[in-house]
């Protein structure tokens, strides 16, 4: 049964890659929400900043949800 394990490993690696990509997007959104007001010379956070920050938090939460799709190897009985 080595083929089943290979497909399981490939699936889990793809899930981890997708979760990492989603988390990188989240960091970009949150970074943009923080750095944009600083580069504009204002500390005031407006609706746009809040929107980018919430989008980043949503992508971060989605990456946690994606990690929940990891599969475990089924235990098999050996006689």
What is residue 41's predicted lDDT score, i.e. its pLDDT?
Answer: 80
pLDDT per residue as tens digits for the range 20-47: 999 999 999 999 998 888 887 877 778 8
Reading the block at residue 79, the tokens are 């006689």
Q: How much is the pTM?
A: 0.78
Alpha helices by DSSP H, the chain: 2-39, 47-67
Average pLDDT over residues 54-77: 90
Asked if the structure places residue 60 within a domain, the reply is yes
Residue 15 pLDDT > 90, yes or no?
Answer: yes
Instruction: Note whether 73 and 57 are within 8 A (CB).
Output: no
Range(s) of the domain holding residue 52 = 25-71
What is residue 77's predicted lDDT score, i.e. its pLDDT?
Answer: 58
What is residue 3's predicted lDDT score, i.e. its pLDDT?
Answer: 64
Asked if the structure places residue 33 within a domain, the reply is yes
Asked if the structure places residue 19 within a domain, the reply is no
Instruction: Note whether 53 and 30 are within 8 A (CB).
Output: yes
- Overall domain count for the chain: 1
Asked if the structure places residue 57 within a domain, the reply is yes
């Amino acid at each position: 049964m080595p083929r089943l394990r290979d497909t399981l490993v490939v699936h889990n690696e793809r899930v981890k890659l997708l979760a990492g990509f989603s988390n990188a997007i989240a960091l970009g959104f949150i970074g943009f929400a923080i750095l944009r007001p600083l580069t504009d010379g204002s500390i005031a956070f407006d609706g746009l900043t809040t929107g980018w920050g919430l989008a980043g938090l949503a992508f971060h939460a989605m990456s946690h949800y994606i990690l929940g799709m990891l599969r475990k190897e089924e235990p098999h009985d050996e006689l």
